[in-house]
């Protein structure tokens, strides 16, 4: 009976033999395939971290301090190799492909950080629906020479292994069943790795601290703690959400948020069909105070000049002629960009919407993810009677501008494709010349008597400013400064500065030509000019020269994020009494406050959120600081407009 009982229990659920389990585990861990995957994955991890850190000896320190991420890193690389081995049935070829792809990620990340103080993000792969133009732009930074050594090593290695080495390296898994199992299993787990950042921020990990958590506001920290590969993979999930949902984001809380917002002098109201929740603050949107509209609406021209900045701010450069001369008299002050030398679309987002990147995740790019209408400057100006036109001397699809610009209220959008079709394209320094925009702009200004808003985003002075950027006859003698010895600038650094300065001078020629055209116009006109970010100058780095010169003390120095803005009015606008006095005074303003500055200068009525932004700007520049309640209400409003239900209206 006892034997029967034992057999019966064995049939429905055998006892777990710990010795058998341990033996099986040891056998698995010592399996040649597992040993190969772990060893080769560790080699790949060391190589890509050495490339990303640019200091091979620093890899040992990183491995020592960040040992907790070694296991998930090895697992990810092993699964990627196993997937390739199952597909091509060749160990060394699978290793080669994974090493090359991760090497590319690490190299691009290193070059991007050196030039723009930002890392290579998953979302960077989706900045354009035109792969040709995307690869053209990237190729200026990531030249093939960077991949020649690793490519040569892998090709020679594959030939050698195939010719002289026996199994298992010259072949792969035995049997189709093993290959299918490896393919399906590795692919399934790799898909789960796309949620790595969610797991790292999950309850279990926070409790046991298995790996560091992911910080949505500091992507640089994520890469330093998790490594370049896990940082890249972890961003796949982070990019799906660009702003944290306010804890109390719900319709019945909108009324109290409106109460706070309305204290700024604007009029916000709750848009809800359920009147039992909360009555609207205002039945209809209206201006907060009556403003007399000018008898003739002034023409508004906005120049968003690529990498526009005052190069004379770098100590140790002496020019025979001021490269900033075309703008010097119209200079109003500095505006704070959200990035050092890149992410132009984020600067555009802040200017056109008067919303703030500070409320979004560190790696956010709203242009790529906005799916609903947002109150924007062009759409508002159309309600006042303006025709709105956007010019951009690069492909229409980059940063999804072909989709975003019409959604923001632009009637017309002229991109590189239109300039090519009209025979107006002329190249200078890899991109369309700034001066080639003069005729299209002047033609548009003369095309109608209706008030117009023209938004011009240039491209010529986009980095990198490589040695071979311009032909010798394309560089003005005035672009070459005298270099002080303390700069210790290499020949490559010097040529980068010369090439960048030439771009500033050419932007000045565009600016001066449009000013001359408007001087003779009978219509009042105002020009607002600003840069999208600073340039990344230097032979190998975008910021080291600025640190060496003493211009900036560290990569967090506010000087690396302060770009100039200028304001000009033609005689007809001045006769109308339009003021060019910046409302923010001598203090630097944020980009989301720049459009209200323009409306203020043109004596046009400000919308409610413009007044809110100006109040926040005033508080930010005051000794008392910003009201936490008002700042939270602004964050709540921004989430509502970008990702929420448009509960609050103006």
Q: Are residues 361 and 506 in the same domain?
A: yes
* Residue 608 within any structural domain of the chain: no
Pick the last residue of a domain from 187, 209, 238: 238
In sequence order, which residues have a C-beta less than 8 Å from that of residue 55 and are 6 or more positions away?
none
Poorest-pLDDT segment among 234-243, 423-432, 641-650: 234-243
Helix (H) or strand (E) holding 391: strand 387-392
Helix (H) or strand (E) holding 317: strand 317-318
* Residue 269 within any structural domain of the chain: no
Give pLDDT tens digits for 54-69. 777 789 999 999 999 9
Q: Are residues 322 and 397 in the same domain?
A: yes
Q: How far apart are CA 354 and CA 375, in angstroms?
A: 9
pLDDT above 80 for 201: yes
Q: Are residues 208 and 312 in the same domain?
A: no
Give residue 5's pLDDT.
38
User: Residue 17: which pLDDT band, with cuts at 50, 70 and 90?
Assistant: low
pLDDT above 80 for 177: yes
User: Residue 132: which pLDDT band, with cuts at 50, 70 and 90?
Assistant: confident
Q: Are residues 85 and 225 in the same domain?
A: yes
User: Residue 1: which pLDDT band, with cuts at 50, 70 and 90?
Assistant: very low
Q: How far apart are CA 361 and CA 639, in angstroms?
A: 12
Give residue 273's pLDDT.
56
Q: Are residues 234 and 302 in the same domain?
A: no
Q: Mean pLDDT: which of 240-254, 312-326, 570-584 is highest? A: 312-326
Give residue 554's pLDDT.
93
Give pLDDT tens digits for 285-309. 334 444 445 457 999 999 999 999 9
Give mean pLDDT, residues 442-465.
Answer: 95
Give residue 15's pLDDT.
54
Rounded CA Rg of the chain: 29
pLDDT over 90, % of the chain: 62
Q: Are residues 230 and 319 in the same domain?
A: no
Give residue 179's pLDDT.
86
Q: Which two tokens stand for residue 438?
A: 């003069």
Q: What is the CATH number of the domain that holds 582?
A: 3.40.720.10
Helix (H) or strand (E) holding 453: strand 452-457
Q: Are residues 302 and 216 in the same domain?
A: no
Count CA within 13 A, CB hemisphere, residue 542.
Answer: 26
Q: How far apart are CA 25 and CA 19, in angstroms?
A: 10
Identify the three-state secondary structure at position 174.
coil
pLDDT above 80 for 139: no
Give residue 413's pLDDT.
97
DSSP structure string for 481-493: PEEPGGG---HHH
User: Residue 19: which pLDDT band, with cuts at 50, 70 and 90?
Assistant: low
Q: What is the span of the domain harbouring residue 158?
A: 23-238
Give residue 586's pLDDT.
52
Give mean pLDDT, residues 159-169.
Answer: 69
Q: Are residues 333 and 473 in the same domain?
A: yes
Asked if residue 603 lies in contact with residue 579, where contact means CB atoms within 8 angstroms, the answer is yes
pLDDT above 70 for 30: no
In DSSP terms, which residues pair with 296 in a beta bridge?
none
Number of independent structural domains in the chain = 2
Q: Are residues 228 and 309 in the same domain?
A: no
Give pLDDT tens digits for 485-539. 988 899 999 999 999 999 999 999 999 999 999 998 989 999 999 999 999 998 8
User: Residue 13: which pLDDT band, with cuts at 50, 70 and 90?
Assistant: very low
DSSP state of 189: H
Give mean pLDDT, residues 572-596.
Answer: 77
* Residue 616 within any structural domain of the chain: no
Give mean pLDDT, residues 222-241.
Answer: 90
Three-state secondary structure readout of 69-98: HHHHHHHHHHHHHHHHHHHHCCHHHHHHHH
Asked if residue 227 lies in contact with residue 69, where contact means CB atoms within 8 angstroms, the answer is yes
pLDDT above 80 for 281: no
Give residue 146's pLDDT.
72
Give residue 505's pLDDT.
97
pLDDT above 80 for 453: yes
User: Residue 170: which pLDDT band, with cuts at 50, 70 and 90?
Assistant: low
Give mean pLDDT, residues 17-22.
Answer: 55
Give pLDDT tens digits for 458-477. 999 999 998 889 999 999 99
Q: Are residues 212 and 308 in the same domain?
A: no
Give the full edge-to-edge strand order of the sheet including 589-590: 412-414, 387-392, 452-457, 299-305, 525-531, 562-569, 331-336, 589-590
Q: 3-state SS of the chain: helix, strand, coil percent to 5?
A: 55, 10, 35
Pick the last residue of a domain from 216, 238, 260: 238
pLDDT above 90 for 144: no
User: Residue 6: which pLDDT band, with cuts at 50, 70 and 90?
Assistant: very low
pLDDT over 70, % of the chain: 88
pLDDT above 70 for 250: yes
Asked if residue 333 lies in contact with residue 589, where contact means CB atoms within 8 angstroms, the answer is yes
Average pLDDT score over the chain? 87
* Residue 180 within any structural domain of the chain: yes
Tally of CB atoms within 10 A around 194: 15
Give mean pLDDT, residues 98-124.
Answer: 90
Poorest-pLDDT segment among 2-11, 187-196, 453-462: 2-11
* Residue 282 within any structural domain of the chain: no
What b-and-e string marks burial along 225-257, b requiring 16 or more CB atoms within 10 Å of the CB?
bbbbbbbbbbbbbbbeebbeebeebebebbbeb
Find tokens 């090439």 and name the residue. 499
* Residue 638 within any structural domain of the chain: no
pLDDT above 90 for 570: yes
Q: Mean pLDDT: which of 175-179, 272-276, 286-290, 561-565 is highest? A: 561-565
* Residue 55 within any structural domain of the chain: yes
Q: Which two tokens stand for residue 555?
A: 């990569």
CA 47 to chain CA mean position, Å? 27
User: Residue 169: which pLDDT band, with cuts at 50, 70 and 90?
Assistant: low
Q: Are residues 329 and 207 in the same domain?
A: no
User: Residue 363: which pLDDT band, with cuts at 50, 70 and 90?
Assistant: confident
Give mean pLDDT, residues 249-275.
Answer: 85
Q: Are residues 210 and 347 in the same domain?
A: no
Give pLDDT tens digits for 413-443. 999 999 999 999 999 999 999 999 999 999 9
Helix (H) or strand (E) holding 590: strand 589-590
* Residue 557 within any structural domain of the chain: yes
Give residue 3's pLDDT.
41
In sequence order, which residues have a C-beta less than 8 Å from that of residue 500 and are 6 or more positions away?
307, 311, 461, 463, 465, 535, 537
User: Residue 140: which pLDDT band, with cuts at 50, 70 and 90?
Assistant: confident
């Amino acid at each position: 009976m006892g034997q029967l009982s034992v057999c019966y229990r064995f049939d429905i659920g055998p006892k777990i033999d710990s010795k058998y389990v341990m033996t099986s585990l040891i056998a698995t861990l010592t399996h040649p395939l597992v040993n190969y995957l772990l060893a080769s994955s560790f080699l790949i991890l060391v190589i890509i971290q050495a490339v990303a850190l640019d200091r091979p000896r620093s890899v040992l320190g990183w491995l020592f301090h960040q040992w907790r991420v070694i296991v998930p890193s090895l697992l990810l690389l092993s699964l990627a190799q196993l997937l390739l081995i199952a597909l091509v049935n060749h160990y060394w070829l699978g290793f080669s492909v994974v090493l090359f792809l991760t090497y590319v990620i690490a190299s691009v990340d290193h070059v991007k950080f050196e030039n723009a103080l930002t890392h290579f993000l998953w979302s960077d792969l989706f900045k354009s629906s035109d792969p040709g133009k995307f690869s053209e732009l990237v190729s200026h930074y990531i030249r093939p020479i960077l991949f020649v050594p690793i490519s040569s090593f892998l090709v020679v290695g594959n030939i050698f292994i195939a010719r002289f080495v026996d199994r298992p390296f010259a072949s792969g898994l035995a049997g189709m069943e093993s290959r299918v199992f490896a393919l399906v299993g590795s692919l399934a787990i790799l898909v789960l790795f796309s949620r790595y950042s969610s797991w790292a921020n999950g309850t279990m990990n926070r409790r046991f601290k298995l790996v560091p958590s992911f910080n949505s506001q500091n992507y640089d920290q994520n890469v330093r703690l998790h490594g370049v590969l896990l940082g890249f993979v972890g961003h796949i999930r982070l990019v799906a959400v660009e702003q944290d949902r306010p804890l109390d984001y719900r319709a019945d809380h909108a009324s109290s948020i409106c109460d706070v917002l309305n204290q700024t002098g604007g009029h916000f109201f709750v848009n809800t069909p359920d009147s039992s929740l909360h009555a609207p603050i205002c039945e209809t949107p209206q201006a907060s105070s009556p403003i007399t509209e000018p008898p003739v609406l002034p023409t508004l021209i906005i120049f968003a000049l690529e990498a526009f900045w005052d190069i004379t701010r770098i100590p140790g450069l002496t020019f025979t002629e001021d490269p900033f001369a075309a703008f010097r008299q119209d200079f109003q002050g500095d505006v704070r960009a959200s990035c050092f030398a890149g992410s132009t679309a984020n600067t555009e987002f802040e200017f056109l919407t008067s919303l703030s990147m500070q409320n979004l995740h560190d790696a956010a790019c709203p242009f790529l993810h906005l799916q609903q209408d947002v109150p924007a400057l062009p759409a508002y100006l159309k309600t006042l009677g303006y025709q709105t036109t956007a010019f951009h001397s690069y492909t229409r699809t980059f940063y999804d501008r072909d989709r975003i610009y019409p959604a923001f209220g632009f009637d017309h959008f002229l991109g590189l494709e239109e300039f090519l079709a009209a025979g107006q394209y002329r190249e200078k320094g890899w991109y369309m010349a700034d001066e080639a925009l003069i005729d299209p702009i002047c033609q548009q200004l003369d095309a109608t008597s209706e008030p117009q808003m023209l938004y011009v985003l240039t491209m010529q002075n986009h980095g990198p400013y490589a040695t071979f950027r311009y032909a010798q006859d394309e560089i003005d003698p005035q672009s070459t400064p005298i270099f002080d010895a303390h700069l210790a600038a290499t020949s490559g650094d010097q040529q980068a500065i010369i090439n960048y300065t030439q771009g500033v001078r050419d932007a000045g020629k565009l600016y001066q030509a449009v000013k001359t055209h408007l001087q003779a116009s009978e219509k009042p006109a105002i020009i607002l000019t600003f840069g999208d970010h600073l340039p990344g100058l230097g032979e190998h780095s975008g910021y080291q020269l600025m640190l060496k010169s003493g211009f900036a003390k560290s990569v967090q120095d506010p000087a690396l994020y302060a770009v100039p803005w200028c304001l000009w009015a033609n005689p007809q606008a001045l006769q109308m009494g339009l003021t060019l006095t910046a409302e923010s005074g001598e203090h630097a303003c944020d980009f989301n406050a720049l459009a209200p500055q323009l409306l203020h200068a043109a004596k046009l009525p400000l919308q409610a959120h413009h007044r809110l932004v100006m109040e926040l700007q005033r508080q930010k520049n005051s000794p008392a600081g910003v009201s936490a309640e008002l700042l939270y209400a602004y964050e709540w409003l921004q989430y509502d407009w970008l990702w929420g239900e448009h509960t609050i209206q103006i």
